[in-house]
Amino acid sequence: MDFPHTSEDTTFSNISSHRQLAQNEKNYLKKKVYKSPDDMTSVGWTIPRAFLYSREHDGRPFQLESGRQLPDVVIEYETYGSLNPDKSNAILITHALSGDAHVAGWDSTATDEYRPWRKNVPGWWDALVGPGLPFDTSRFFIICSNVLGSCYGSTGPASPNPADGGRPYGLNFPQVTVGDWVNAECALIDHLGISQLYAVAGGSLGGQQALEWAIAYPERVGKCIMLASGAKLPAQGLGFNHIANYTIQSDPQFHNGQIYSTKRVPNPIFQHGNGPDLSYYDIANRNLTSLTAARMLAHITYLSADGMDSKFGRRLQSVKLRRTQSAPQDGEEFAVHGYLQHQGESFVNRFDANSYLYIANAMDNYDASAKWGNGDLARACSRIHAEMMVAAFSSDWLYPCSESHNIVMALMQNHHPVTSVDVQSTYGHDAFLVEEEKVMRIIRAFLLTSAPSRIPVRTSTKEVRHG
C-alpha cells in the first residue's frame, strides 16, 4: 500500500515559465506518496541498534575533544544490506542537524507513544537507499548513526548523568564537536570490524562530518561525498543560529535546560533480556514556543527566495484555529505564516531544545581550515586521500556555492582529483534532500567509478585515533 505524506519538508520546482509555474503550484499541493515497506526498492522494516562504547572498552569513558569525558556512551545506529567477506563495501551516511540514524525504511519500533512521527513516513533519505538505488543495498552495506548530543537514541542531554544521581544532564552535558561525532562513528566502524569505508556521504552538517572523516582518517575513507556543505558555516548562518540560541535560552519556560519530567522512556532495543538500562528522560512541556520560533527561523534558511515566492507569494489561506496574532483578518493568514507555524509546531513534538543548542553549537564551531591547516584550507585538505565529490546547489544561501568552491579549489591546489557539481535548483539548502532525481544521478555515477583503493596513500599523513 501507499502511505500518506506527513513529512515536514515542502519542496519547490524550477521556475522557467508561467506554464511551468502553474504546474509547480499544482505539484506543491499534491501530497507525496512514499513507497511501502514491501516495495522492491525499499529496505523494508528496520530495527535500530545500539553500540555501547564504554561497555565494549572495559568501562573506559569516551574522550571528547574538549578534554572532558562521557561515561556509558551509547550510539544508536541502523544498517542495511550485508557486508561482503572482506568488509570492503561499507558506506557511512551522516545526518544533518535534526536528522537521526533512521535514514531509510520503516521503523518497526515506532508506536503511538514511542517516536510516533515515524509511523507514517520512512527514513529521511529513503528515496536514495535501497536495492537498485544509488546507495544500493544489494551491493553496499549502509550504516547511519545518531550523533552524540542528539535526542534520537545516542547519549545526550536527556540521558541520565551518573555523576548527578542519574538525573538528566540538561545543560550539564559537555559540549560536543563534529570531531567528536566522527570519532564516535570511527569507534562504531571499528566495532563492526571495518578497516576502510568504501565511502562516507552527507549533506549540510552531515557533509561537514564527511569532510572531517576524509581529513582526520584519510587512510580509512575511499570516497567522500559532500552535499550542500562547506568547511565552515558562513557568518550569516552563525547569525541565524545565534538568534535561535538566544530565543531558546531567554524563554522562561526553558528553565535553563531543566525541561524534563520524572518519567523515563525505555529504549525498545533492550526491552528483552538482561540488557543495560538505557532509558532517557521525557520532556515535560512539548509546547516550547521558543523552539517553535527557532525552527521557523531555521526553516527559512533551508528554502530560497524564489521558491518561497513561487509557492506562497502573498496568498491568503483560511485558518481553522487561530494560533497567532499575525493573521490580517479573522479566519485568514498568509500562507507562508501557516507553513512556518506548522513546521515549528511539528518540530517541538519530536525534538529536544537542549539537543538543538548542542548540535547548532557544534555546527557553528566547526572550521576545517582552522583545525587542520592553521587557517589554510589547502593545507588542511592536503591530508585527504579519498576520491572527493563536492556538490553545491545554486539557491542555497545557508551553505552557498562559494563554500563548496573553496573546498574544490583547496583540493586542486593539492593536485587532488575532485568531482565538482553545481546543481541548478530553486529548492534552497534543502535541495540535497528534495532534488531526488538530480542527486540520485550524481551519487550513483560517483559511487560506481573506479575503486577508491586505487588512490595512492600518502605515508606522510599521521593517523588520528578516536578517544
- Backbone phi, then psi, for 326, in 5-degree steps? -90, -10
In whole angstroms, how far apart are CA 421 and each of 128, 273, 378, 442?
18, 49, 19, 8
- Cell 568547511, residue located: 231
396 is a catalytic site residue: yes
309 is a catalytic site residue: no
3-state helix, strand, coil in the chain (%, to 5): 35, 20, 45
Beta bridge partners of 367: 232
Catalytic one of 150, 429, 430, 466: 429
- Cell 588512490, residue located: 455
- Cell 599521521, residue located: 462
- Cell 562504547, residue located: 53
How far apart, in whole angstroms, are the C-alpha atoms of residue 285 and residue 277?
A: 24
**Distance between terminal CA atoms of the chain?**
46
Catalytic one of 396, 404, 416, 466: 396
How far apart, in whole angstroms, are the C-alpha atoms of residue 149 and residue 208?
A: 16
164 is a catalytic site residue: no
How far apart, in whole angstroms, are the C-alpha atoms of residue 97 and residue 457?
A: 32
Catalytic one of 13, 145, 154, 204: 204
Contact assessment for residue 330 and residue 322, using Cβ atoms and an 8 Å cutoff: yes
Largest CA distance in the chain: 70
How far apart, in whole angstroms, are the C-alpha atoms of residue 143 and residue 140?
A: 10
Burial 109-137 (b: 16+ CB within 10 A, else e): bbeeeebebbeebbbbbbbbbbbebbbbb
Task: Give the single-character DSSP code of 413.
Answer: H
- Backbone phi, then psi, for 241, in 5-degree steps? -65, -35
H-helix or E-strand containing 210?
helix 205-216
How far apart, in whole angstroms, are the C-alpha atoms of residue 70 and residue 72?
A: 7
Catalytic residues: 204, 396, 429
